[in-house]
């Protein structure tokens, strides 16, 4: 290895790519690092800006819910926003006040995001007293022994991955102890210009390692590896010294090891560093924790230490302020929410800062839409590089340089080709989801094609297409369900109608049967039991018809469609009844004519016969030819007349409502009186219609109800005889 590195160093001036022999992963580039711009100056203590902007939405997860109001005075470390519901599901972490002061506004502000969108932010005006709540998280200094305990504390302390992705740390940890065998501390910091992790390792090595120990201990990990690039000799020395000290003090329950890794961009990427340090290749699309590995940034581990040991929530972080446009770059312990422009102004800009600042490094950073955006928990660098004249973009010459530089073994030129042609399904097949957007391909492209921008666009487009596909699938399901529901409702309605028809048919049939038996045979042939059964059947049939009808009458108020069908059914039923009664007259005359005093008639049978007679009398109005034709006709008539009435009423109601809505549109601001008056009006015609329907139904019911008493009376008379 030593021989190889000497050889690589020797020939690198002639063949720069010889440096690629020094590390395991494919590709990578060797840019100008410019780290000394900020490392040569000491760390600046926190400055109190004019205002602190604290966005309620984080990089990942849902929006947090503020627990303070405008005008409230808050103390440093006070909880000001947290998740509304279950934090585990919503991926929300708590937000704490970075300093004491007043909440002056909760309003949409431009976010530190390339979109330039505005989202709700808490605006805190510092009062300069820095009045802090000590041990805000109520920590007793004891190390959590289970992953659950640590996760709970992390969610409360508001710690998210501070390396850049910003994934809530508690969500990253597995629930089961022992699932992670190796915890890797990421101190590679491979992006040019950025030096905050370097300086943190130099100054707070013990806190970082203790944070690592706490996490590894709680997760039951077997070893702790710390990877640092060889271009940070001071950090390597500091960490090595801290490891020896901790081991000497017996404060390191988990064995620790420092590993120096080659200086190459992007060594700090999770997949690259894991492969370099352990030889394990992380699965595409999987989590590192599935393979027993967990990687954490040094700043995250330090925040964990401070939360566990001191009960201090995450309210500040080390930020590099650097760039070619600044006289003296530095690192600052910046409060979360400090505006970029105020920090950049401290570094003595060479030119007025009227160009967009960059959040992050020159390779992966994003230009800010506005320089008055806040430092986030993930902001590691504020870069002020004055805009350079852009190189003219030339056509792709298919040289394959990008392919050689890609650290995740993708085919950048193929992906570019398809992304440019909007063939996103082909881009997806080339595994664009594994692209880490490191920018190596754009860096080496001799045609100056902004490849990463194409990939970002393609990724967003693919994501949207998937979302659309899922939405279409959902719409399809819902549509199918709706169709099935309509079908079912129709079938149910038909079944109800059929049942009712059958009931109507069986009732007179049973009656005529009984009557026929009465006339032709002696009542003595019928056993009491049989009679009872027949009577019960008839009664049940009658009852069913009645209740069904009641339902229909009630249902009329539900909807216009139902109104129509209900009205039609009611009319049909009435007509049918009438017709059957008329038909019954042909059968009943004998009964009516011959009271048959000899036969010991059952009271009930007599009653029925009497009822039949009454019905027959009623039905005389109808022509004796009461055939189905007439039934249908009358049903139709009944239907059309009621339906017409309903329709008219509805139309009137809708007219009135429309007029109302117009009036309301016009007089929207002229008080509520008009509106209430107007709202009362349209309902009246509707009400009228409904009341009419109800009255009709009531009348029908009353008519029906009249018959049983009659028969009862007759029965009584009969008995008295």
Partner 1 sequence: MSWLQGLEAIGIFLALALLFGLALGYAAVRFKVEGNPMAERLDQELPQTQCGQCGFPGCKPYAEALARGESEVNLCVPGGTEVMIKIAEITGRDPKQMAEGVEENPPIETAWINEDLCIGCVLCIKACPVDAILGATKLMHTVIQKECTGCELCVPVCPVDCIEMRPVATHLKNWQWPEPETLVHNKPLASLLVREG
Residue 460 binds to partner 1 (criterion: CB under 8 A): yes
Residue (127 or 434) nearer to partner 1, CB: 434
Site for partner 1 in 47-66 (CB under 8 A): 57
Residue 674 binds to partner 1 (criterion: CB under 8 A): no
**Of 20, 35, 96, 113, which lies in the binding site for partner 1, with binding defined by CB under 8 A?**
113
Residue 481 binds to partner 1 (criterion: CB under 8 A): yes
Residue 476 binds to partner 1 (criterion: CB under 8 A): yes
Residue 119 binds to partner 1 (criterion: CB under 8 A): yes
**Of 457, 501, 564, 590, which lies in the binding site for partner 1, with binding defined by CB under 8 A?**
457
Residue 14 binds to partner 1 (criterion: CB under 8 A): no
| 3 state DSSP class of 235 | helix
> Whole-number minimum distance, CB 463 to partner 1, in Å?
8
291 vs 281: CA distance, rounded Å: 9
Quickly count: other Cβ atoms within 10 Å of residue 113's Cβ.
18
Site string for partner 1, 630-669 (x = CB under 8 A): ------------------------x--xx-xxx-xx--x-
Q: Which residue has the tokens 């992304």?
A: 419
Residue 117 binds to partner 1 (criterion: CB under 8 A): yes
**Of 482, 488, 490, 551, which lies in the binding site for partner 1, with binding defined by CB under 8 A?**
482
Quickly count: other Cβ atoms within 10 Å of residue 128's Cβ.
10
Residue (666 or 705) nearer to partner 1, CB: 666
430 vs 414: CA distance, rounded Å: 8
Question: β-pairing, 118-126 with 101-110?
Answer: antiparallel
**Of 292, 450, 555, 589, which lies in the binding site for partner 1, with binding defined by CB under 8 A?**
450
Q: Give DSSP secondary structure letters for 431-486.
A: TGGG-----HHHHH-TT---HHHHHHHHHHHHHHHHHHHHHHHHHHHHHHHHHHHH
Residue (112 or 613) nearer to partner 1, CB: 112
Residue (46 or 678) nearer to partner 1, CB: 678
Range in contact with partner 1 (rule: CB under 8 A) among 19-27, 106-114, 138-146, 296-304: 106-114
State phi, psi for 406 to the nearest 5 degrees: -65, 120
**Of 37, 74, 80, 111, which lies in the binding site for partner 1, with binding defined by CB under 8 A?**
111
Residue 466 binds to partner 1 (criterion: CB under 8 A): no
Both tokens of residue 336? 């979360």
Cis peptide before 266 (omega within 30 of 0): yes
Q: Give DSSP secondary structure letters for 244-290.
A: HHHHHTT--SS-EEEEEE---BTTTSHHHHHHHHH-PPPPTTS-GGG
State phi, psi for 94 to the nearest 5 degrees: -70, 155
Residue 454 binds to partner 1 (criterion: CB under 8 A): yes
Q: Give DSSP secondary structure letters for 120-169.
A: EEEEEEE-S---B-TTTT---SPPP-SHHHHHHHHHHHT-B-TTTT--BH
232 vs 711: CA distance, rounded Å: 109
> Whole-number minimum distance, CB 54 to partner 1, in Å?
15
Residue 687 binds to partner 1 (criterion: CB under 8 A): no
Both tokens of residue 199? 């300086």
CA atoms within 13 A on the CB side of 677: 8
Residue (21 or 481) nearer to partner 1, CB: 481
117 vs 473: CA distance, rounded Å: 30
Residue (468 or 521) nearer to partner 1, CB: 468
Q: Which residue has the tokens 């009930």?
A: 604
Residue 459 binds to partner 1 (criterion: CB under 8 A): yes
What single DSSP character describes residue 379? -
Quickly count: other Cβ atoms within 10 Å of residue 262's Cβ.
21
**Of 426, 456, 496, 501, which lies in the binding site for partner 1, with binding defined by CB under 8 A?**
456
Residue (227 or 682) nearer to partner 1, CB: 682
Site string for partner 1, 374-403 (x = CB under 8 A): ------------------xxxx--------
Residue 531 binds to partner 1 (criterion: CB under 8 A): no
Residue 370 binds to partner 1 (criterion: CB under 8 A): no
Count of residues of this chain found to bind partner 1 when the rule CB under 8 A is applied: 48
8 Å CB contact between 198 and 229: no
Residue (119 or 131) nearer to partner 1, CB: 119
Site for partner 1 in 332-361 (CB under 8 A): none
> Whole-number minimum distance, CB 199 to partner 1, in Å?
31
If phi over 0 gives left and psi between -120 and 50 gives alpha, with beta otherwise, what is residue 255? beta
Q: H helices of 257-387, where?
A: 270-278, 298-310, 340-346
Site string for partner 1, 403-442 (x = CB under 8 A): -----------------x----------------------
Query: Residues in the site for partner 1, rule: CB under 8 A?
Result: 57, 111, 113-115, 117, 119, 392-395, 420, 450, 453-454, 456-457, 459-461, 464, 467-468, 471-476, 478-483, 558-559, 654, 657-658, 660-662, 664-665, 668, 682-683
């Amino acid at each position: 290895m030593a021989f190889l590195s000497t050889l690589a160093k020797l020939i690198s001036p002639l063949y720069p790519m010889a440096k690629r022999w020094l590390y395991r992963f494919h590709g990578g580039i060797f840019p100008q690092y410019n780290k000394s711009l900020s490392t040569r100056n000491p760390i600046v203590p926190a400055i109190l800006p004019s205002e602190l902007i604290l966005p309620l939405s984080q990089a990942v997860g849902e929006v947090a819910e503020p627990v303070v109001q405008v005008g409230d005075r808050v103390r440093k470390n006070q909880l000001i926003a947290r998740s509304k519901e279950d934090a585990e599901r919503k991926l929300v972490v708590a937000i704490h006040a970075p300093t004491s002061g007043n909440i002056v506004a909760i309003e949409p502000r431009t976010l530190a995001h390339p979109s330039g969108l505005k989202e709700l932010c808490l605006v805190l005006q510092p009062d300069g007293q820095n009045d802090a709540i000590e041990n805000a998280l109520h920590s007793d200094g004891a190390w959590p022994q289970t992953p659950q305990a640590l996760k709970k504390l992390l969610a409360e302390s508001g710690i998210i991955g501070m390396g850049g992705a910003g994934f809530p740390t508690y969500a990253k940890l597995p629930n089961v102890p022992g699932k992670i065998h190796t915890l890797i501390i990421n101190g590679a910091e491979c992006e040019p210009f950025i030096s905050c992790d370097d300086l943190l390792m130099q100054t707070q090595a013990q806190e970082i390692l203790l944070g690592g120990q706490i996490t590894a201990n709680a997760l039951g990990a077997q070893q702790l590896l710390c990877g640092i690039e060889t271009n940070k000799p001071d950090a390597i020395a500091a960490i090595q010294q801290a490891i020896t000290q901790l081991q000497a003090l017996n404060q390191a329950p988990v064995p620790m090891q420092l590993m120096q890794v080659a200086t190459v961009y992007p060594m700090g990427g999770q997949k690259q560093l894991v492969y370099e340090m352990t030889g394990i290749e992380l699965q595409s699309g999987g989590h590192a924790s599935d393979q027993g590995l967990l990687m954490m940034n040094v700043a995250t581990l330090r925040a964990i230490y401070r939360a566990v040991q001191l009960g201090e929530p995450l309210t500040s972080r080390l930020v590099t302020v650097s760039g070619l446009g600044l006289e003296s770059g530095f690192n600052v312990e910046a409060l979360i929410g400090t505006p970029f422009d105020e920090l950049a102004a401290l570094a003595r800009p060479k030119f007025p800062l009227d160009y967009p600042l960059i959040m992050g490094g020159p390779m992966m950073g994003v230009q800010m839409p506005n320089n008055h955006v806040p430092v986030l928990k993930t902001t590691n660098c504020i870069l002020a590089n004055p805009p350079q004249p852009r190189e003219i973009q030339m056509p792709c010459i298919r040289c394959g340089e990008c392919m050689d530089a890609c650290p995740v073994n993708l085919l950048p030129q193929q992906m570019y080709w398809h992304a440019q042609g909007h063939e996103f399904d082909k881009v997806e097949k080339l595994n664009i989801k594994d692209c880490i957007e490191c920018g190596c391909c754009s860096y080496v492209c001799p045609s100056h094609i902004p490849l990463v921008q194409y990939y970002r666009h393609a990724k967003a487009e693919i994501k949207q297409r998937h979302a659309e596909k899922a939405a279409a699938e959902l719409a399809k399901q819902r549509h199918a369900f709706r169709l099935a529901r309509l079908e079912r409702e129709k079938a149910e309605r038909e079944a109800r109608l059929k049942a009712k028809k059958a009931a109507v048919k069986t009732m007179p049939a049973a009656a005529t049967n009984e009557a026929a038996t009465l006339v032709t045979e002696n009542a003595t042939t019928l056993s009491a039991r049989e009679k009872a059964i027949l009577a019960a059947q008839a009664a049940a049939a009658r009852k069913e018809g009645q209740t069904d009808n009641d339902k229909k009458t009630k249902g009329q108020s539900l909807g216009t469609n139902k109104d129509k069908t209900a009205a039609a059914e009611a009319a049909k039923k009435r007509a049918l009844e009438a017709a059957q009664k008329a038909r019954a007259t042909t059968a009943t005359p004998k009964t009516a004519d011959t009271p048959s005093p000899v036969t010991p008639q059952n009271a009930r049978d007599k009653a029925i016969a009497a009822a039949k007679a009454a019905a027959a009398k009623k039905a005389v109005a109808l022509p004796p030819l009461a055939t189905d034709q007439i039934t249908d006709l009358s049903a139709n008539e009944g239907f059309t007349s009621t339906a017409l009435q309903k329709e008219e009423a509805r139309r009137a109601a809708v007219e009135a409502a429309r007029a109302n809505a117009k009036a309301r549109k016009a007089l929207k601001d002229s008080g509520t009186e008009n509106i209430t008056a107007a709202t009362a009006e349209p309902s009246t015609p509707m009400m009228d219609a409904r009341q009419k329907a109800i009255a009709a139904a009531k009348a029908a019911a009353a008519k029906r109800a009249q018959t049983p008493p009659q028969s009862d009376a007759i029965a009584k008379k009969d008995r008295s005889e």
